[in-house]
Structures are given as C-alpha cells and as structure tokens.
Amino acid sequence: MTREELLEKVKTARPSVTVVGLGGAGCNIATWIAEKKLAGGKIIAANTDAPHLSTMTRADKIILLGEKLCKGHGCGGFPERGAEAARENLDEIREELKGSNLMFLVAGLGGGSGTGAIPVFAEAGREAGALTIACVTIPFTIEMIRREKARNAIKELAENCDSIIVIDNSKLREVAGNLPLKEALAVANALVGSFVKNLTDTITQPSLVNLDYADLRAVMERGGISAIGIGEGNGENRIEKSVSQALSTPLLDITDISTAYGVMIHIVGGEDMTLDEVAIAGEQIMQKVPYTKRVIWGAKVDPALTGSVRVMSVLTGVTCPFLSGEIKETAKAPVQVPKEIPVEIIKPIREAMEHMAKAQEVSYLNEKIHKAAVLSKEK
C-alpha cells in the first residue's frame, strides 16, 4: 500500500461525528462546542424557538422544529408538543443523520423543546446505525415538576440511546457552589460541552495514549445511565488527588461506583506528566472499580497544564436513585450565598422556594396515596 493510499484510508476510516443541540440549553451547549472548534464533526442546532435559533450562527445546520405546529414561538414547556414538533421534521432529521457513526445529543431536560425532541432524535440516530450518546442536564431538586419531565424523557431515551450521560444541576454545588447562579449554570453547559469535545478530539486526533472509535463503542454501547466526574490537582500526589476526585464526586447521585459496567478515563497533563503518574492512575482506577467489565483510558499532553493534571471519568451502567424511584436521604450541605447578593434579598426567596418544595412534595405524596388506594380497591 502506498503512502497516498494509506492517507486516503485514514480519511475514510475516521468516524463521522454529529453533535445535535436541542432546545435552548442544548443549542447553547452546541454553540460552546463550535466556538472551541470541534475536530471533524458536524454541529446541528434544533429548536422550536425561531428567535433563539437565529442566533446559532456557528452551527453547520439549523433546524426549526415544528414550524406548522409552533410557528417559531416555542412549545410552552410542554414536552408532548416538543416531540410532535420534532416528528414534523422527521424526514429532514433522518437525512442529516445519514452516515453518522457517532452522534451526541445535548439538551437541558425539564422544559418543552429539548425534553420532547431528544427521544425522537435518538430513535432516528438508532435507525441510522450511529452510536448514540445523550448528554443531558437535569433540573435542581427543588424543581420537582421539571425533574419529573426530565425523568420521563430519560426513560424514553433509554429505549434508543446507547448511553445517557446525566449531569444533575443539584450536584453542581460540589464543584461550583460559590459561584453566582448564572455562572454555575454556565459550568454545567461547559462540562457537557467539554466532555463531547474532548471525547471527539480523542478518537479523531493523535494523542499521547489514543482511544479509537472501537474502544469508545466497547464501553458506551448499551452503557445505559452514565455519570461523569472531574478532578484536577497540582503539586505532590497530584494524579492521586485528581483520579480520586473524578471517581468520588460524579455529577449524578449514584448508588455504588464499584458496580459500574464500564469506565472511561481521560487524563490531560502538561509536558511534565510522567509515565509513572499515568500508571498510578490506572492502578487507582482498578482499586475503585474492581468489578467493572471494561476499562479504557486515554492521555493527552497540553502545555498549558504544566504543573497540574486534569482527569475526566465516565462511569457507564450505573444505578441512580433519581431514575429508579428510590428515595435516598443525604446530608444537606449549607447553602453558600455569593457575597455580591445581600442576605436580606436571598432569605425571603429561599423561604418561598422551600415552601413551594414542601407543597409540591405533599401533593406528590397525596397522589401516590390515592393511586395506592385505587389499586387496593381494584384488588
């Protein structure tokens, strides 16, 4: 085989990657990825809100969902309308996804457009034969109605997605608790965006330790509910600190990481990162997840990180109380109020939100009791 033939083979062997941003939050994440220059991938922004969609100038393709149904005005927070709007564009969606090997669906769940449309896109991705990975954020614990919408959407996604990466906004307090709300939510978007970009870069570009598409498929295919964790350390024992943090604080409440089906670790360090450090990372991972079926890892050198190490973990096939219906009591961390906001403003808002949460919880319990009574009578 000549060098020219080999280079041509490399081009055709490179996986075709499609990133689809759905709804307002999903489109914003897709824009973040586009601004960071996604390697060898196509970015699609899809929404029912025409004014918001018109600002997505960096996307390779924009799709106004449900033009006849929603007339470009959004879908009012109703997932059913979001799903119906996506089905209106089903032929166009299928055409855009043709030939994709790997598809990322990104959305913030709990509203209408992204929540309703993402299962429709997932089904189209499965039909196209793509490895389909959904990367979604779910609302804060206090947003009980929106969380219920998110839960239902994830259950639908499970029918057609290979893996569903879930980031719980409530867990953001562990990595961004001191930030103002707007900045903290931007962190969630950046986490989803950086996960998609780093993963795509890793399988399409040369790295210190490469991951290829087959490696990714082995861990993510039929991976189910998945969680990501991040860790960064510097100074003495920096690699141990980073790996421990990435594995011990995933951004989703999960039961036991040791039972994860698969684990993927991506390590990025400066030019001073040593082979010994990478080996220690591998040993530490196996101690934390001794029963996992598959472990893959990649490493990349970034001169900007000289002196520090950054680790991102992906745990697939995990059990999550939020999705299994279990109720898990956890110690509540103290609320951290940014100094810029006076306490006298925060206090009444917090009290009102707590009152709303209690009212919604009572309503939810009453509904459960009523259903149980009806079932008892039927028996």
* Domain parsing of the chain, residue ranges: 14-205, 226-324, 342-379
Please give the CATH topology (third level) of the domain spanning 226-324.
60s Ribosomal Protein L30; Chain: A; (3.30.1330)
Name the pLDDT band for 344 (thresholds 50, 70, 90): very low
* C-alpha distances out from residue 80 to 120, 199, 229, 250, Å: 11, 32, 32, 31
Task: Sort residue 66 into left (φ over 0), alpha (ψ -120 to 50) or beta.
Answer: left
Q: Is 27 annotated as a binding residue?
A: yes
Q: Is residue 93 pLDDT above 90, yes or no?
A: yes
Q: Which amino acid is at 112?
A: G
> Mind listing the pLDDT tens digit for each residue in 116-130?
999 999 999 999 999
pTM over 0.85: no
Q: Tell me the average pLDDT across 307-325.
A: 86
Do 14-205 and 226-324 come out as alike in CATH topology? no
Q: Is 26 annotated as a binding residue?
A: yes
What's the whole-number average pLDDT of the chain? 83
- pLDDT value for 4: 66
Name the pLDDT band for 325 (thresholds 50, 70, 90): low
Q: Is 25 annotated as a binding residue?
A: yes
- pLDDT value for 8: 55
Q: Is 28 annotated as a binding residue?
A: yes
Please give the CATH topology (third level) of the domain spanning 14-205.
Rossmann fold (3.40.50)
> What phi and psi values does residue 374 have, to the nearest 5 degrees?
-65, -45
Q: Is 39 annotated as a binding residue?
A: no
Of residues 111 and 174, more confidence is placed in 111
> Mind listing the pLDDT tens digit for each residue in 167-205?
998 888 777 778 887 888 788 888 899 889 888 888 887
- pLDDT value for 179: 82
Q: Is 146 annotated as a binding residue?
A: yes
Q: Tell me the average pLDDT across 217-234.
A: 90
> Mind listing the pLDDT tens digit for each residue in 9-58?
555 557 899 999 999 999 999 999 999 888 778 999 999 999 999 999 99
Residue 372, C-beta contacts closer than 8 angstroms, at least 6 positions apart: none
Q: What single string gives the DSSP state of each residue in 76-93?
A: TT-HHHHHHHHHHTHHHH
Q: Is 189 annotated as a binding residue?
A: yes
Q: Is residue 333 pLDDT above 70, yes or no?
A: no
Q: Is 190 annotated as a binding residue?
A: no
Q: Is 114 annotated as a binding residue?
A: yes
Q: Is residue 108 pLDDT above 90, yes or no?
A: yes
